[in-house]
Amino acid sequence: MATHRADLSWILSSLDKSGFKNGLALLGLLWTAKVSLSLAFSILKGLRIYLFAQITTRNNFCIKYGGRWAVVTGASEGIGRAFACELARCGMNIVLMSRSTQKLEKVAETIEKESKVETLIIPIDFATQDVYQKIIASLEGLDIGILVNNVGVMYEYPQYFLDVPKQKLFDLININMTSVIMMTRIVLPQMCERKRGAIINMSSSAGELPTPQMTVYAATKEFVDSFSRALAYEYSPQGIEVQSLRPFYVATAMTYGTKANIVVPSPETYVKSALYTLGLSRRNTGYWSHGIQGWFVGFCPEWLWMWTATLLNNQIRRVVLKNKKQ
């Protein structure tokens, strides 16, 4: 027995160690090739949708999508307001939907003055589920070419799940998810009849991986992304474009007073980029620097994402609570 063990030990020790090293080198080469190809593809895609599209296309959306009207939810401020104004500059009439009648009237006045198009305001609180008959009645007779499902709600500040008020949980579901489903259900039939139309759904890169202290918010945004991708597959044969936008931070009231910069664009800067990716990409971040962030996140292990998110959200919570005490 001892002799056999000695023979086995000798055989193993006699194996060509260079073969093992060559195997590791091959794996390293394959990994490098994968990363390089991914980077090259991402750069080409980014140039196509974030650069060339911006300087070569200013789509006549009314003709392309078969309707003179665009419906924008959450249109009183932030990204929704920016979408409404930019679509109006493209010649579309705008349906503005949000809670505040006063804010909607101001946006409508600005749009009509600057872009010389029609507007319709529909004051709606998407936190309740009995609003959709009113919406159906208000939209009757309008030829809607584009729907922007933008309305959303976030935590007041990052919180652990059990610290989030129960009503806020219902609001997250009704506003972030139910509104997307029901608005799509209302508008999609007429688009299918025309065989043309576009639906832009605002998801978030917070849903790219599980995000601690934004547990429910991130999950609702991942739902929006999954819903959008499946819907795009179902209805693209009928000429309907469905797009999921997954931004990182944009300088809005929802991002805790973050100031605009090259990494955190203003709503206007973001929308001027994101809108013209419509028809070129079903799923993207909407802005070039967000695309770079998204590429790095694609290689980020889940544990690192959650560890980093926890550190960031802890800091945000401390700052918000400190400011509230002052």
Contact 290, 205 (CB under 8 A): yes
* Widest Cα–Cα separation across the chain: 96
**Which among 50, 65, 217, 270 is annotated as catalytic?**
217
Instruction: Provide the pairing of β-strand 144-149 with 119-123.
Output: unpaired
114 CB burial (10 A radius; 0-12, 13-18, 19+): exposed
> Does residue 160 have an active-site annotation?
no
* Tally of CB atoms within 10 A around 312: 14
Catalytic (active-site) positions: 217
